[in-house]
Every structure is written in structure tokens, then in C-alpha cells.
Amino acid sequence: MKQQEKKEQEFDFIKEKIKDKPVNKRRLLVRAGFNLLCAVIFGIVACFVFVLLKPYLEEWMYPEKESTISIPKDDVPQEEGAKEPEETPTPAPAEPEAEPVVVEAELEIEDYQELQNKLYEIGKQANKSIVTVTGVTSGKDWFNTPYENENSAAGIVIANNGQELLILTEKKVIKDAQAISITFIDEAVVSASLKKYDGNTGIAIISVPLAEIPKETMDRLAVASLGNSYMIQQGTTVLAIGSPLGANYSILCGTITSYQNEVSTIDKNFTIFTTDIVGSANGSGVLINLEGEIVGLVLQSYSSQNDRNTITALAISELKQIIEDLSNNRDVPYVGLRLSTVTDDIAKEYSIPKGVYIKSVEMDSPAMAAGLQEADVIVKLNGEEVATVEQYNQKIYPLNPEDTVTVTVKRQNGEEYVDLECAVVVGVLK
């Protein structure tokens, strides 16, 4: 016991009492303020990052689907001989009609001017759907000096899918362009981009986001109405709007001089309208009827050498499916043939089998790769008979690039024709 007390006495000098550390209120306030400041800064940064990333996250998680454009098609009128006879009802006895009162009126110069004013009013209303498409190309010349070129032509507002405005124009205007701009009727200028084009006809669809177009401009413009070109006859009064003479928003009046001529393009034949309207060889725009509806697309490249000074247009009814598909981002199928129908008279006169005659095969085309040749006569597609170019178009057009179609042709071998089958892989004409 004594020994234990002795040990405790020896270590008394290292014993101490631990006291609570005094609270430094100032330091606590500084630390609390620092934590609060960090929280505020973190919150601000988080909000800023969220605002920046929100559109991209929404687009990734909830992608918006573009509305599909649908253009009503026109029925091809039947020939009079193909119409079914209608039953003629027995007419009821007609009551004697009173003789009409004829009032003779002499037309004055003012009446002619009033008629002209009404015609031009139709053109002014249709001009609300006309825009100027400008393609800008740049490069360097032989002396390494930078240069910039601008090509302009008329464009037609053909659709609004809810997210973008779709404009129809010619591909040659924006060929190799580094930038595309659209000038509206109120002089507003907006950037645009190429959506799709058809390498055969040369028509293109330009896209302009609705968010980029001022509200005042949207209030002034109108979407064009596509009419029925099958109703066009020789002598029909039409207006040429757009840039038929090189100056945009021009309005020219005239008549259709021919409406049954055809132009043979790659894989498809189109009806050509010629007019007595004086135009430029580089003119662009559309033909409209007296209802303000588009009935023809002015494409001067399809006019003959003798008609370069007058307006020539492709019938719009035959272009509606192509315009719809390009607007919906679908490629136009390409085989690479120029064709004509072998009628009964031609078959009899030249001893050629009835079918679709191949006038020429495009170089490096899918048709050439498959072995089709000039002067072959197409008689079947995928085992189904075809007798006209129209039937050929109906079977080829629904195909997609990379689809394979079996083409059965009759090829001359001496004085006889033999059947051959060629497998054609459908492509896209650039």
C-alpha cells in the first residue's frame, strides 16, 4: 500500500486537468459564411450549366419528330374513249324559256386596264410565297486572290412542317455554295440549308428554321398552292411570277401555246408547257393559273434552242410526288435510262416488240452496271409486265436506294429478239 502511494506521488507532476476549449464565435461565423458562399456559387454554376444543357438533354431524351409533308396528287384524266358510258336520264318536257335580253356594251380602254389590274392582283397575292434564294461561293483565283460569287434565283415556299419552312428552287443556284441565304418579300434575310435535291430534274428543297424567321415576316408570307396541271389546255391564260426575266417579283401574263409535248429525262418523261411569255434563258419561277395556283415550274434548261426567249415549264402535277419526297428527306430512285413507249404503230412499222424502248443508258449508272443496253425493250419488272413508260415509272419510283429490281428485256440477236434478265441495284443520282 505504501509502495502504491509512493508511485502516485512520483507521477503527480504529469497530472493535469483538461479544460474545454473556449468557443471562437468569430471563426465559426467566418466558416459559416464561407460555406454559404460556396453553396451559392455552386447553385449558380449548376443553374447555368443546366440552362445550357437543357435543350440538348431534351433533344436527346425527347427527340422531336418532323411532321411529314403530304401533297395531294392529281388524277390523270382518262381519254374520252376510255370513259364508261353514262346512262342518260329521260329529260322532262322543257318549259318554253324567255328569250334572253342582249345588252350591247362597247369596251373602253379603261375596261382593258381594269382587267389588267385584276390579273396583276392575282400575281401580287401569289408573290407572297416567292423568295430570293442566294448561294455564295468563294475561292482563290490564279493569282491567289480571294473572291466571292453570288448566284440568285426565285424560290417558292411550298410547305411549313411546324419546325421549318420548305422552299423549292433549282439546284444549280446553290451548287458548291458555302452559304445559302433567303431574302423574303419584306427584305428580311435568313440563313438556310439544303435539305434534298433531285439530280435528274435539278429541283432542290431548301430548309429555313421557323425560329430564325421574324414574326413580321411570317405574317406577310404565304405557302404556295399547287394546282392541277392536267386541266391546262392550249390557250389557257397563265401568269409567270418569280424571276422569269431576271428581276425577282416580276409578273408576266400570257397563254399556253402547247401542252402535250414531252421531254425525256433520266428514268422519267415529263410534260412540257410552252408559252408566249417572253423570258430570259436564265429565268426561274412558276406559272400560275387565274386561281393563283401553281401549274408549272419554270425550268428553262428544258426548253429547245428555238424557245429560249419564251417561258417553258414542267407540269406541276407530275412533279408533286418528287417535291413531297424531297421535302420528307427521301431520295429519288435512280436507274439511269432514257425511255420511250413502243406503241402499236411503232411496233408494226419497225418490227419492235411492244414495251419500253431504251433510247440510251447513262454512263456509270446502275443500268449500265447491270448490263442493260441501248435498243433493249423492257417487258417486265420483277416478273410483272410493263408496256409503257408510265407503268415503268409506277414500279420503279417506290423503290429505295440499294433495292434490287429484276429487269426483263428483249434484245435483238440477228433477226430475232431473245429474253434476258438483268439485276439492277437502284442508286441515287448526285
Give residue-wise pLDDT tens across range 159-216. 999 899 999 999 988 888 999 999 999 999 999 999 999 999 999 999 999 999 999 9
Q: Sign of torsion, CA 118 124 128 130?
A: positive
Residues 406-415: pLDDT tens digits?
999 999 998 8
> For 296-313, what is the mean pLDDT?
81
At residue 144, the pLDDT reads: 72
Set of cell numbers at residue 356: 419500253
Task: Give the separation between CA 355 and CA 412, rounded to whole angstroms.
Answer: 14
Say yes or no to pLDDT of 1 above 70: no
Set of cell numbers at residue 309: 426567249
Domains 128-220 and 229-327 agree in fold: yes
At residue 74, the pLDDT reads: 85
Fold of 229-327: Thrombin, subunit H (2.40.10)
Q: Give the range with max mean pLDDT: 64-68, 76-80, 277-281, 289-293.
A: 289-293
Say yes or no to pLDDT of 47 above 80: no
Q: At 249, which amino acid appears?
A: Y
Three-state secondary-structure class, residue 184: coil
Set of cell numbers at residue 56: 440538348
> Of 78-87, 170-179, 330-339, where does mean pLDDT reach its minimum?
78-87
Q: Which of 290, 392, 387 is nearest to 338 (CA)?
A: 392
pLDDT bin (cut points 50, 70, 90) of residue 82 is very low
pLDDT bin (cut points 50, 70, 90) of residue 76 is confident
Fold of 128-220: Thrombin, subunit H (2.40.10)
Higher local confidence (pLDDT), 228 or 62: 228
Cβ contacts of residue 268 below 8 Å, gap of 6+?
200, 389, 393, 397
Query: Cβ of 275: how many Cβ atoms within 10 Å?
Result: 26
Contact status, residue 357 vs residue 343, Cβ threshold 8 Å: no
Say yes or no to pLDDT of 38 above 80: no
Q: Sign of torsion, CA 33 39 40 42?
A: positive
At residue 352, the pLDDT reads: 93
Contact status, residue 202 vs residue 152, Cβ threshold 8 Å: no
Contact status, residue 170 vs residue 314, Cβ threshold 8 Å: no
Say yes or no to pLDDT of 42 above 60: yes
pLDDT bin (cut points 50, 70, 90) of residue 323 is very high
Contact status, residue 69 vs residue 159, Cβ threshold 8 Å: yes
Cβ contacts of residue 219 below 8 Å, gap of 6+?
none
Higher local confidence (pLDDT), 364 or 279: 364
Residues 245-303: pLDDT tens digits?
888 899 999 999 999 888 889 999 999 999 999 988 888 999 999 999 999 999 888 77
Fold of 333-428: Pdz3 Domain (2.30.42)
Q: Which of 310, 240, 306, 237 is nearest to 280 (CA)?
A: 310
- Between the CA atoms of 241, 244, 245 and 249, what dihedral angle is there, to the nearest 10 degrees? 30
At residue 376, the pLDDT reads: 96
Task: Give the separation between CA 353 and CA 366, rounded to whole angstroms.
Answer: 24
Domain ranges for the chain: 128-220, 229-327, 333-428
Contact status, residue 174 vs residue 168, Cβ threshold 8 Å: no
**CA atoms within 13 Å, Cβ hemisphere of 118:** 9
How does the average pLDDT of the chain come out, rounded? 85
At residue 86, the pLDDT reads: 45
Query: Cβ of 425: how many Cβ atoms within 10 Å?
Result: 13
At residue 85, the pLDDT reads: 43
> For 401-408, what is the mean pLDDT?
96
